[in-house]
A and B are shown apart, each in its own frame.
Chain A
């Protein structure tokens, strides 16, 4: 059985949602930290093994979700914005 079977479901995006931004050309959005928030803070030496790298990746996803939660808090007063919109600095 593959190590990754049935994992990362939480990362799936609805295809319908993708069409909502297919023509987007946005500026001033800030840096996308979601793929390297934790990885950039840790030594490459300890990330040389796949298992450790995957383990760090899972922890990283938890933190990315936490940061997104803060964005939701910021968006709380923006009554007309979709609540899952996270491209706010």
Chain B
């Protein structure tokens, strides 16, 4: 980028020097013009030296620009500089899932011995995306006994294992940079020293003097960095020792497969029996997918790294809501993350609970020509199995503080529709205009991240930018308000907290907790006079709209412009946006206005403002 080119060549130009050198050579040998060409060794060497020098100057400029996180352009540089702040940029995550395998009927009789053995990390291939998945186990071998009639569960992870090897020097604080190339699974690095597995720690200070451990971080110069100890904190790999590094090269988010029944796998690697005879596992075993691969994520974006690097906690502990937001944001699969606790309210029993309000990045879930209005509504929220995988990722991180628990906040779906009134210029096709408006609004709604309110002026501004639109007005309609008008009543909820004698409550997962306060949530249905309307003091709460007609959102609300509900007259709002008919996005076109020279000038002036 031009603004980062700080080495100005204005004072001395390489071309000037070369030109002078050529003149000098010409004078010495009495050859000039067409007789002194690049066929001459002198001229050729001069040209190549000049080109290489310019390249090196470019590399110097580039290397210097890349030393500043705000001007750096390459991911290795941004990640490396973020590492200096203590932030460990996510190198990506492999999708993880679970399969079950069992014998095909009668096939166990065709195997010699009492079991078939499958080496851990044997490969499967997905029929859906063609990617490789590895079968994982705590042991080296997965054994399926011939007497086993039930399915056995096997965790799987997307990717391929790649290995590298370096040499221990026997020095304290040995450090190695391993160039990995491409996306790798962040938490899936194993280190062996002379064939013995060494544990991966978060910090040198976590290791005692006899700990066979290593710190693995995203590389300051790309790839991954390994840091060994100094005999006071962690053992030192001996001189000449073989340090083997295994990691999983991953496809990131592309490795995620939906919950569909079409998810099937085939064995790639062979199994073997007690006599080491090989067997094509596809002929002997059948596979059932119990949890399709999910939680795969690409390396974190550079913008995100630049934003979050200064906020890194140095404690490596998931304790505060900010720690949780930082931890989860690295998965690159959320459109919104809100972690919070309720230590500032009167209810003390949940003060150790971190509430997680999570919304998926719907944009990454769109298939083919889907947009905001056509994607299935369940894609706007995480399924229970996905939430289970997120909980597992938090728990498996080993960073969760012992006393804290997490609880997922169930998003409260608030349905809305929007009426858009458009006046357009003559000569523009209404269906084409409708498609353009739909595309703009869909893009906006898929990207929206603010959680307090949704202003209709945003939509107006978007549609005004559509070619052919002269004037636009937008109105939001809330389902709750239409329900109240249709039924003549609305519901309000109230939460009260009162002290009580301590009671032991089962909170699931085999855990109990003592409650000192009683939390009571009551709902009350109130009827109102249609002529007087909903009382002002509860109007915003009931309608979900403020005095501007903008959408108001509570912490757990998710505004959705989708159909499947009735308006005040009992007419059904349909999902698919329509022209002039009640729908999630109704576009009403008024009579087009003539496109004169003056309207064109005015339109151009407005765009130029």
A residues lining the B interface (CB < 8 Å): 19-30, 37-38, 41-43, 46, 52, 56, 59, 63, 66-67, 70, 73-82, 85, 87-89
Contacts and interface: CB of A to CB of B under 8 A. Distances in A.
Nearest to A71: B63
Interface of B: 39, 41, 44-45, 48-49, 51-52, 56, 59-60, 63-64, 66-67, 80-81, 84, 162-167, 169, 173, 175, 177-181, 219-223, 225, 227, 239-243
A59 to B, nearest CB: 7
Contacts of B219: 78
A74 to B, nearest CB: 5
B52 A38 contact: yes
10 contacts: A21-B167, A24-B166, A56-B45, A67-B59, A73-B67, A77-B67, A79-B220, A80-B220, A81-B221, A82-B175
Contacts of B51: 41
A89 B179 contact: yes
Contacts of A87: 177, 179
> Among the interface residues A26, A29, A67, which one has the most CB atoms of the partner chain B within 10 A?
A26
A27 to B, nearest CB: 5
A80 B173 contact: yes
A26 B240 contact: no
B225 A23 contact: no
Contacts of B165: 23-26
Q: For the complex, would chain A's binding face be called helix, strand, loop or mixed by DSSP majority?
A: loop
A16 to B, nearest CB: 10
Nearest to A38: B48
Contacts of B164: 25-27
User: 3 tightest A-B contacts by CB?
Assistant: A25-B165, A28-B181, A28-B179
Nearest to A52: B41
Nearest to B163: A25
Contact of A88 (B163, B177, B241): B177
A70 B48 contact: no
A74 B221 contact: yes
A80 B176 CA distance: 9
B52 A81 contact: no
Contacts of A70: 56, 59-60, 63
A78 B80 contact: yes
Contact of B180 (A28, A38, A73, A74): A28
Contacts, number: 108
A43 B41 CA distance: 9
Nearest to B173: A80
B60 A73 contact: yes
B56 A80 contact: no
Given A23-B242, A27-B179, A78-B221, A41 B60 contact: no
A50 B547 CA distance: 88
Contact of A73 (B63, B239, B242): B63
Contacts of A22: 167, 240
Nearest to A78: B220
B175 A80 contact: yes
A19 B171 CA distance: 13
A63 B242 CA distance: 34
Q: Name which of B39, B221, B227 has the most chain A CB atoms within 10 A of its CB.
A: B221
A23 B169 CA distance: 11
B225 A80 contact: yes
Nearest to B58: A70
A28 B250 CA distance: 16
A85 B177 contact: yes
A78 B179 contact: no
A26 B41 CA distance: 38
B41 A46 contact: yes
Nearest to B182: A28
Contacts of A85: 177
Contacts of B241: 23
A45 to B, nearest CB: 8
A63 B166 contact: no
B64 A73 contact: yes
Contacts of B242: 23
Nearest to B62: A70
A20 to B, nearest CB: 5
B44 A77 contact: no
A27 B240 CA distance: 19
Contacts of B45: 42, 46, 56, 59
B179 A77 contact: no
B181 A27 contact: yes
B52 A37 contact: yes
Nearest to B40: A46
A67 B56 CA distance: 7
B86 to A, nearest CB: 13
Contact of B240 (A19, A38, A41, A56): A19
Determine which residue in B49, B223, B225 has the highest number of CB atoms from chain A within 10 A of its CB, and name it. B49
Nearest to A75: B221
A85 B177 CA distance: 9
B44 A42 contact: yes
Contacts of B66: 74
Given A42-B44, A74-B221, A80-B227, A19 B167 contact: yes
B70 to A, nearest CB: 14
Contacts of B177: 78, 81, 85, 87-88
Contacts of A23: 165-167, 240-243
B359 to A, nearest CB: 36
A19 B243 CA distance: 14
A89 B48 contact: no
A42 B164 CA distance: 36
B282 to A, nearest CB: 31
A30 B357 CA distance: 44
Contacts of B239: 19
Contacts of A76: 67
A43 B59 CA distance: 25
A6 B113 CA distance: 70
Contacts of A77: 67, 80-81, 84, 220
Contacts of A37: 52
A29 to B, nearest CB: 6
Contacts of B60: 70, 73
B166 to A, nearest CB: 5
A75 B175 CA distance: 13
Nearest to B165: A25
